[in-house]
Amino acid sequence: MNLSILKSDKKNLNSFIAAGSALIFIGFIDIILSSFFSTNITAFLPNKISYLTPLLFGLFGLYLIRIEFSGNKLLDKVNTNFNSSNFNALLTLLVIFALIKYIPPLLNWFVFDANFAGNTKEDCTSGGACWVFVKVWLNRFVYGLYPDTEQWRINTAFLTLFLLVGASFFVPQKFKKYIIIFLLFVYPIIGLKLISGGDFGLKYVETGAWGGLSLTFIVSAFALILCFPIGTILALGRRSKLPAIRYTSIGFIELWRGVPLITVLFMSAVMFPMFLPDGTYVDKLIRVLIAITLFEAAYMAEVVRGGLQALPKGQYEAANAIGMNPFQRIFLVIVPQALRAIIPTLVGSVITSFKDSSLVAIIGLFDILRIGTSVIPAQSQPVAFIGRNLEQLVFLSFFFWVFTFVFSRRSMKFEKRLGLGER
């Protein structure tokens, strides 16, 4: 079948625009009626054909209005961005079709038919999502089993962390290094001591009571803060000309990269205490933090090494030419440039590490994932939410998505400020 006669040109442009727009409009009305009002104007056709009718109308309509350099700015923009070929037109229509067809039912379940008021599962009667448990269990989602009267300590620790990280972006350059040193070597000790207590009049809180969102952030934040300097040292060690240092670094990296994180957590939580001398005890959370830190450090080392290898040899030679010693050459010239080059990969590692922190649930720690999937459904009446696992998983997924999205957007702005990708 020759469709060339249906190809628009400047002579009959208006007629083709009218015909194409009419077909697109009919397809749009068809899918709106079927999605929102359960009315199908093509119900007389077989089910499969009737279901795809809006796509067929839209595809043919876009074909009719496809023309290069029509002189109409709006039409040219549509054709360039969405309708440059039959394939692109089909993709555009599929996206629109999916949005109109499936978003309304999801919105009804998420928002319009959802239950937000009440205190028990019995208050969820509308047929939509039961978000009552979020309000009832919000405190446990955030703090786990941590005592209510001591939760100010967690708030103080994380507020201090956020202020320090924020300050590192705005203070003068000469003060940044002191903040970074404090974050890497001093703050982890102070933060853990503040949350655990036992000194300075603070009530001791066992790590078994730590949980929820706070534990997720503790595991991921402290592991990331500590793994970064270790990974940098390992990356430098792997590129060292000294065989002992190079092979030790390679052995460490390959050993930890060759073992799944679940196995590492199981060994730290269950097997490691068996090898300790009698009377020696290391808290489970401390063991887990050390294990995750070493595991992430191995991957961080390879990320940093990629940045080091991306630098031209001339940077090393220039540093030597101006009389820098090895320490100055590495930490004042090479490493800052390498870190600048690996920001996208580094952000990906941070996001992955944050999500991997949920694996601590398998060794008995009550992170936000285990609180949502085990603790809440298992609670007794009158606030049990047994059978509402879908809402809990959706809520937890949304929480992880929000964190990763915000972090990703901030990193993109940071990359833009540094001029990454610009020549």
What three-state secondary structure class fits 44? coil
What integer pLDDT is reported at residue 2 of this predicted model? 46
- The segments of the chain whose pLDDT lies below 50 read 1-2, 380-382, 423
For residue 195, give Cα distances in angstroms to 68, 205, 226: 65, 8, 18
Contact criterion met (CB below 8 Å) for 338 and 364: no
What integer pLDDT is reported at residue 295 of this predicted model? 92
Closest of 68, 39, 133 to residue 388, by C-alpha? 133
**Which tokens hold the place of 308?**
């080091």
Contact criterion met (CB below 8 Å) for 195 and 205: yes
Q: Is 149 exposed, middle or buried (0-12, 13-18, 19+ CB in 10 A)?
A: exposed
What integer pLDDT is reported at residue 376 of this predicted model? 56
The structure's pTM equals 0.74
123-154, pLDDT tens digit by residue? Answer: 777 778 888 877 777 888 888 888 888 999 99
Q: Is 308 exposed, middle or buried (0-12, 13-18, 19+ CB in 10 A)?
A: buried
Contact criterion met (CB below 8 Å) for 246 and 238: yes
Helices (H) and strands (E) in the chain, counts: 20, 2
Cα–Cα distance measured from residue 145 to residue 283, given in angstroms and rounded to the nearest whole number:
17
**Which tokens hold the place of 105?**
């039912």
Strand (E) positions, 207-353? 211
Helix (H) or strand (E) holding 396: helix 389-418
Q: Which domains does the chain have, with CATH numbers?
A: 4-112 (no CATH), 135-146+205-311+341-418 (1.10.3720.10)
User: Which positions ≥6 away from 205 have C-beta within 8 Å?
Assistant: 146, 147, 150, 195, 196, 197
Contact criterion met (CB below 8 Å) for 75 and 83: no
Residue type, 83: N
Cα–Cα distance measured from residue 313 to residue 23, given in angstroms and rounded to the nearest whole number:
61
Residue type, 311: L
Residue indicated by tokens 């679940």: 262
